[in-house]
Amino acid sequence: MADTTGVPSGADNDSPLAQAVAGLKRYLKVLLGFSCFLNLLILTGPLYMLQVYDRVLVSRNEPTLVYLTLLAVAALLVLAALDVVRSRILVRLSNNFSQTVTPELFRLILGRARTANGLRDLETVRTFLTGSSMVTLFDVPWAPLFLGFVYILHPYLGHVALIGAVVLFGLAVWNEKRTRGLLAKAGEYQRKATDFTEVSARNSEAINAMGMLDNLQQRWLGDQRAALAFQAIASDRAGTLVSAAKFVRFTLQVAILGTGAWLAIQDIISPGAMIAASIVMSRALAPVESSISSWQGLQGAKRAYARLQEAFEHYEAGTPMSLPEPNGQIGFENVYARPPGSEAPIIKAFSFAIEAGDSVGITGPSGAGKSSLVKLMTGIWLPESGSVRLDGAEFLNWNRAQLGRYIGYLPQDIELFPGTVADNIARFGEADPEKVVTAAKLVGGHSMILDLPKAYDTLIGPGGANLSGGQRQRIGLARALYDLPKLIVLDEPTSNLDAEGESSVRTLIGWLKKQKITCVVIAHKPTVIGGVDKLMVIQKGVLSQFGPLDEVLPGITRQVPAEKTTVPAYGAAGSGIVGSNVEARIPVKNGRVKLTAAETRVSANENQGKQ
């Protein structure tokens, strides 16, 4: 962008941000020329005073006074009108900038699972474009015009004004250097505090239930106080320089009036020229002085714009061509992937294929990478290397808006959105009542929804706050099944369900198999994945086993870290078992627990009793 805006040039790619900046450049150049006329008209006052002092008061010609006054008023009316027009143009330009960038920025935020900081950055830039700081930047280039006018009155007066402009400009540069780093740190801590607040608000129930509020408040206060401390130091330094700038300006007023009076005493200039020089110098130095006080806003806008550029750094314009409806075939080829912001890959060298219509269970210890794997399967994440294909096409080549209706996904952390139950099930598209009810019935949630105050028209609070965990999970399952997608991925679908809900999920998996719909289920309970065709075992981000269920399931045994293990014997205090903690040696062979037939029966009976 032009230097007059103080904002860097747009991104090199053809992103909405680059397009919006290009549009701003065209109009801001026009406004810069527009500001030239505004600043010329500002000379109306000094010129009027100069004529009154030097001509009217000397000649005592009343008609001349009347005509000069009418001409000055007319010029000031034009000045006011042009100022209003410039202000309105800036408002419309900023709104157009926001409307051009916001839709794609919103999609980027949701698509990359980022916080809403990008929208706040956009609002910072938009506010800057309509604020007084922007007007100051438009006026600064014309300060030499006023200095030239003062030089015309007399070189000595011009020297005084020029020295003042140089001093004030030096103070502005010094202010920027002394506050830039502090303001950057203050903004960083403030964003951390805001992000922490957003995350905490989403988990307020757990926070209050477990008495975490005071601890989290202290953690938040640490970032907040750091932000305020850096901001206070920057404000103190800026305030000192603003006061110094005021002192310089007032001193210059005295200096130019004194110099003008001395020249008038010497009959070198008239008293009118002395007054006019004082007014014009004040106008020349006003934008320079204002830039000192508005420097923080300018730097904040520059940092916000830089973050927007970073958000659009890998933006690719255009939408991929629509492809034929997929069948649900998934293929992984030597895939490595890591979560956003992580350095170490969590998915390592995955290669496998899931045929259309297969039902696949995924199991493994916590933190093994199961949820990360299904995020790759659904195109939420893209691999760092290797390829993930749906029906032979990489996810990058699919039109995401088209593909979404063919994928059903239940995440581990279920989030519902403000709206009705029907809106959430229909994914906030145009709800088809028949399809909504069908999806609810498939997951066993129809009767539960009918028990709600307004059935399918019941309003859900943010995050489904007015629903139980089981109700949210059933609605999330119905949303995944809406319009019968070709690929359905369920991450721990029974984590909040009772026995009846688990039975509904098992029945659902069997029904999906009959319909030849590809279904992938993450679960730890064998009762949930017992009806799938194939089973995948993941350990530490590596595909350990993958094959038919009846071949893989018998080979899964619990790993132990060492031969010597302390186990609670029957009767441990508080456990409902008779006895005390004893140290037992468990026979281990090839890293697997080897149990006798009797021990196996006891373990099976215990597990059955727990279930």
pLDDT tens digits along 2-46: 333 334 444 445 777 777 887 777 777 778 777 888 888 888 888
Residue 564: predicted pLDDT: 40
* Residue owning tokens 């000031």: 76
DSSP string, 316-329: --S-PPP-PPP---
Residue 120 C-beta-side C-alpha neighbours within 13 Å: 11
Tell me what percent of the residues of the chain surpass a pLDDT of 90. 1
Q: Which pLDDT belongs to residue 465?
A: 57
Residue 504 is part of a domain; what is its CATH number? 3.40.50.300
Summarize pLDDT for 209-243 with one digit per residue, the tens.
677 777 777 878 888 888 888 888 887 877 787 78
266 and 400: one domain? no
Measured distance CA(396)–CA(314) in Å, rounded: 13
**Whether 62 and 26 share a structural domain:** yes
Q: Do 371 and 308 share a domain, yes or no?
A: no
6 domain residue, yes or no: no
Q: Is residue 274 part of a domain?
A: yes
SS (H, E, C) 506-547: HHHHHHHHHCCCEEEEECCCHHHHCCCCEEEEEECCEEEEEE
Report the number of distinct structural domains present in the chain.
2
Q: Are residues 437 and 538 in the same domain?
A: yes
Question: In 411-454, which residue ranges form alpha helices assigned H by DSSP?
Answer: 421-425, 433-442, 446-450
Q: What is the largest CA-CA distance in the chain?
A: 126
Check: pTM over 0.95? Answer yes or no.
no
State the Cα–Cα distance between residues 502 and 507, nearest whole angstrom: 9
Q: Is 417 in contact with 428 (CB distance < 8 Å)?
A: yes
606 in any annotated domain: no
Domain assignment present for 76: yes
Nearest CA to 522 out of 388, 355, 386, 409 is that of 409
Looking up residue 130, the CATH number of its domain turns out to be 1.20.1560.10
Residue 529 has pLDDT above 80, yes or no: no
Residues 107 and 235 in one domain: yes
Which has the closest alpha carbon to 354: 490, 553, 543, 520? Answer: 520
Q: For 367, phi and psi rounded to 5 degrees?
A: 80, 10
Q: In this predicted structure, which of 39-48, 138-147, 576-585 has the lowest mean pLDDT?
A: 576-585
Instruction: Judge if 265 and 409 occupy the same domain.
Output: no
Indicate if 393 and 305 belong to the same structural domain: no
pLDDT at 600: 36
For 536, phi and psi rounded to 5 degrees?
A: -120, 130
* Statement to judge: residues 367 and 500 lie in one domain: yes
Q: Looking at the structure, tell me whether residues 203 and 296 fall in a common domain.
A: yes
The confidence band for 77, taking pLDDT boundaries of 50, 70 and 90, is: very high
User: Are 339 and 308 in a shared domain?
Assistant: no
Q: How confident is the model at residue 110 (pLDDT cuts 50, 70, 90)?
A: low
Residue-number span of the structural domain to which 22 is assigned? 16-312
Considering the domain architecture, whether residues 504 and 538 belong to the same structural domain is answered as yes
Give the pLDDT mean for 182-192.
Answer: 80
Q: Are residues 266 and 364 in the same domain?
A: no
One-letter amino acid for residue 127 of the chain: T
| Rounded Cα–Cα distance for residues 211 and 208 (Å) | 5
What is the average pLDDT value for the chain, to the nearest integer?
A: 76
Judged on CB neighbours under 10 Å (0-12, 13-18, 19+), 604 is exposed
Is residue 63 domain-resident?
yes
Amino acid at 254: V
pLDDT, tens digit (0-9, with 9 covering 90-100), for 321-350:
677 778 888 888 888 888 776 777 888 888
Q: How many other CB atoms sit within 10 Å of the CB of residue 282?
A: 18
Interval 381-400 mean pLDDT: 81
Tens-digit pLDDT profile for residues 290-329: 777 677 677 778 888 877 777 777 666 556 667 777 888 8
Six-digit token pair at 252?
């210059």
